[in-house]
């Protein structure tokens, strides 16, 4: 049941609270996604409350939403932030329209300023190799090696890595079953180096099927923040002074496989893109083709010939 939106100062308007409840319960949005929507719609509600007659966000017209975007732009928001804010508004008003709470979508025709496309930073293959080959004799060395190899081997999001249980891994076949954004599952290949590192870590950790692959305090799954901090320290220890974070390894995975294969669709399928249109394009891709793309292209997937 949705929380009472009027239950105190700072609470969202009723329609916004109901929409956030829909995202959390029906769409199973991540905490990060919910926080982003909450912030963006709180900015909309705050702007509306400061207007003459303080209209509710659900009653705003197209001209008022244009004024909101312009006000945020004057306030110094970057084009990328404005695009995200407008995207949250679009999702909110489309939900209102589907449920018969408004008769037209006021966001139609509204465009945010174009943001300059920023290419993600990546590690080159030598840097990636230097990063993942940490000293396994160091404290938590086997865990760190397995964690880094898997991130780079399979291009996982940090949330996907943290949520893994041993039952999700099939090291004999070199596969991992991943629960991605929107509770969508995908199967991703795991390279031979990562399989060996995970097998060594499993022998030390015990590897009970329901246990987290990478436990934190109290045996609970390690948190994304802990992984970020660990990677930063490991990168410095390995002599890399770039800003190393889990998503950098995901970018590097994608860049290196795409660079070698030229197969954009295969790479996007391996990454588990959240965009519905993109996902639909790759629905009929044959999984064996994806595995061949991966084995032929990823620097640490190739099996050594006897």
Phi/psi for 242 (5° steps) reads: -75, 170
Catalytic residue among 84, 143, 273, 298: 273
175 closest CA partner among 161, 196, 189:
189
4 closest CA partner among 19, 23, 16, 17:
17
Q: 14-98 belongs to which CATH class? A: mainly alpha
Per-residue confidence (pLDDT) for residue 4, from 0 to 100: 36
CATH topology of domain 125-297: hpI Integrase; Chain A (1.10.443)
Catalytic residue among 27, 90, 282, 302: 282
Catalytic residue among 85, 157, 193, 300: 157
| Residue 38: active-site member | no
Length of the chain: 306
Retrieve residue 64's tokens: 């008022």
Half-sphere exposure of 219 (CA within 13 A, CB side): 6
Contacts of 173 (CB under 8 A, 6+ apart): none
Is the Cβ–Cβ distance between 83 and 91 less than 8 Å?
Answer: no
Catalytic residue among 84, 250, 251, 256: 250
Identical fold between 14-98 and 125-297 = no
- Tell me: the pLDDT tens digits for 205-260? 988 999 999 998 888 999 999 999 999 999 999 988 888 999 889 888 877 777 77
Per domain, the residue ranges of the chain are 14-98, 125-297
| Residue 37: active-site member | no
Q: What average pLDDT does the chain have? A: 84
Retrieve residue 234's tokens: 């490991």
Catalytic residue among 247, 265, 292, 302: 247
Burial annotation 235-249 (CB, 10 A radius, 16+ → b, else e) = beebebeeebbbebb
| Residue 247: active-site member | yes
- Tell me: the pLDDT tens digits for 100-154? 999 999 999 898 777 665 656 778 889 999 999 999 988 899 999 999 999 999 9
| Residue 181: active-site member | yes
Global pTM value = 0.60
Catalytic residue among 66, 94, 101, 181: 181
Retrieve residue 246's tokens: 């889990």
- Tell me: the pLDDT tens digits for 178-201? 988 777 888 999 999 999 999 999
């Amino acid at each position: 049941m949705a929380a009472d939106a009027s239950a105190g100062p700072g609470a969202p308007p009723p329609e916004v609270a109901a929409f956030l409840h829909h995202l959390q319960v029906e769409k199973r949005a991540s905490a990060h996604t919910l926080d982003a929507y909450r912030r963006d719609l709180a900015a909309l509600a705050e702007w509306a409350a400061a207007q003459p007659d303080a209209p509710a966000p659900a009653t705003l017209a197209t001209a008022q939403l244009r004024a909101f975007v312009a006000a945020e732009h004057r306030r110094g928001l970057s084009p990328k932030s404005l695009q995200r804010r407008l995207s949250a508004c679009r999702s909110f008003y489309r939900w209102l329209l589907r449920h018969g709470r408004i008769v037209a979508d006021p966001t139609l025709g509204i465009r945010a300023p174009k943001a300059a496309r920023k290419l993600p930073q990546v590690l080159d293959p030598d840097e990636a190799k230097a990063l993942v080959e940490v000293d396994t004799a160091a404290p938590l060395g086997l865990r760190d090696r397995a964690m880094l190899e898997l991130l780079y081997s399979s291009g996982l999001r940090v949330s996907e890595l943290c949520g893994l249980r041993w039952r999700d891994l099939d090291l004999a076949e070199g596969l991992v079953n991943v629960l991605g954004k929107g509770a969508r599952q995908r199967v991703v290949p795991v390279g031979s180096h990562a399989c060996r590192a995970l097998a060594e870590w499993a022998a030390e950790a015990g590897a009970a099927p329901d246990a987290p692959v990478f436990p934190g305090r109290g045996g609970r799954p390690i948190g994304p923040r802990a992984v970020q901090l660990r990677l930063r320290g490991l990168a410095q220890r390995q002599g890399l002074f770039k800003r190393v974070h889990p998503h950098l390894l995901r970018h590097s995975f994608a860049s290196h496989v795409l660079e070698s294969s030229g197969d954009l669709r295969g790479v996007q399928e391996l990454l588990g893109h959240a965009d519905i249109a993109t996902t639909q394009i790759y629905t009929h891709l044959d999984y064996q083709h994806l595995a061949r793309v991966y084995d032929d292209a990823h620097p640490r997937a190739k099996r050594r010939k006897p």
